[in-house]
Amino acid sequence: MPRIAIIGGSGVYDPKLLQNVREEFVSTPYGKVRVKIGEYDGEEIAFLARHGEGHSVPPHRINYRANIWALYELGVERILSTSAVGSLNEAMKPGDFVVLDQLLDFTKTRHYTFYDGDESPHDRKFVAHVDFTDPYCPELRKALITAAKELGFDYHPTGTYACMEGPRFETRAEIRALKILGADLVGMTQCPEAALARELEMCYASVAIVTNFAAGISTQKLTHTEVVELMAKKSEEIKYLLMKSIKYIPKERHCGCKDALKGATGE
């Protein structure tokens, strides 16, 4: 049973770090999810590509609830993910790794909770308001930071990610506004992925890879081609970072993630 999962974003469709990989189709109340399960360093690891293997699913159409529920069904407790981002912070340059610690949610049409009351397509029909003060697991963040430091990568131990609805990139004015609001990075997939993991009391962290400077800061037109090309260049480093991070994930969970529902339902 895999305790750890990796969710690959743009450019990360196969971690190429797992052995004896099998494929499972996990049924969830939100639909079926295709998950790869393999071994790394004697540990079972689950992997799913959030956009699908052929990057066929755009960010605003990803079935985030099915993905997170499927990992929960498999017994996953810890989720590491990758996110390709634009940077609003001149210190965070294309090619840099950023271990996210905060997020701002500007998504519009997404299904962002499991707790829909009577509408919930499962037995968790209660209302739940989870704490999300710190959206990322401190223990997973520490593992990513330790690994990035040990590998000598250009990394930043914190970063605020603004999640836009997409699939278009931002306007100059939107980036100006996000900068005033304190965002360092901009992407399209951290919300609701991080919140849904917290709602199922799973640990979640994401390493962002800066692929470009954001609209209005970059002097060039923004393209998905540029994103995927830079991610391809960084694929080996991303693989090493994930491999090394897994080794630093404590076996026991002493973070608050595992008790996220305590007090959330008013009981």
Ligand X SMILES: O=P(O)(O)O[C@H]1O[C@H](CO)[C@@H](O)[C@H]1O
Q: Among 23-31, 44-52, 96-104, 183-191, which window interacts with ligand GUN (CB under 6 A)? A: 183-191
Taking CB under 6 A as the rule, does residue 82 contact ligand GUN?
A: no
**Minimal distance, residue 120 CB to ligand X, in Å:** 26
Sole binder of ligand GUN in the list 71, 84, 103, 196 (CB under 6 A) = 84
Residue ranges in 92-131 that form contacts with ligand X under rule CB under 6 A: none
Do 95 and 156 touch, CB atoms closer than 8 A?
Answer: no
Do 31 and 66 touch, CB atoms closer than 8 A?
Answer: yes
Instruction: In whole angstroms, give the CA distance from residue 65 to residue 6.
Output: 16
Taking CB under 6 A as the rule, does residue 224 contact ligand X?
A: yes
Q: What are the two backbone dihedrals, phi and then psi, of residue 226, each rounded to the nearest 5 degrees? A: -65, -40
Instruction: In whole angstroms, give the CA distance from residue 133 to residue 126.
Output: 21
Based on C-alpha coordinates, what's the Rg of the chain?
Answer: 17
Residues β-bridged to residue 85: 210
Sole binder of ligand X in the list 188, 195, 196, 197 (CB under 6 A) = 188
Residue 264 is assigned to a ligand binding site:
no
Instruction: In whole angstroms, give the CA distance from residue 130 to residue 101.
Output: 17
Sole binder of ligand GUN in the list 67, 212, 249, 255 (CB under 6 A) = 212
Instruction: In whole angstroms, give the CA distance from residue 76 to residue 44.
Output: 10
The option from ligand X, ligand GUN, none interacting with 86 (CB < 5 to 8 A, set by class) reads ligand GUN
The option from ligand GUN, ligand X, none interacting with 160 (CB < 5 to 8 A, set by class) reads none
Sole binder of ligand GUN in the list 13, 114, 169, 204 (CB under 6 A) = 169
Summarize as ranges the residues that interact with ligand X (CB under 6 A). Answer: 9-10, 50-51, 59, 82-84, 166, 187-189, 224, 227
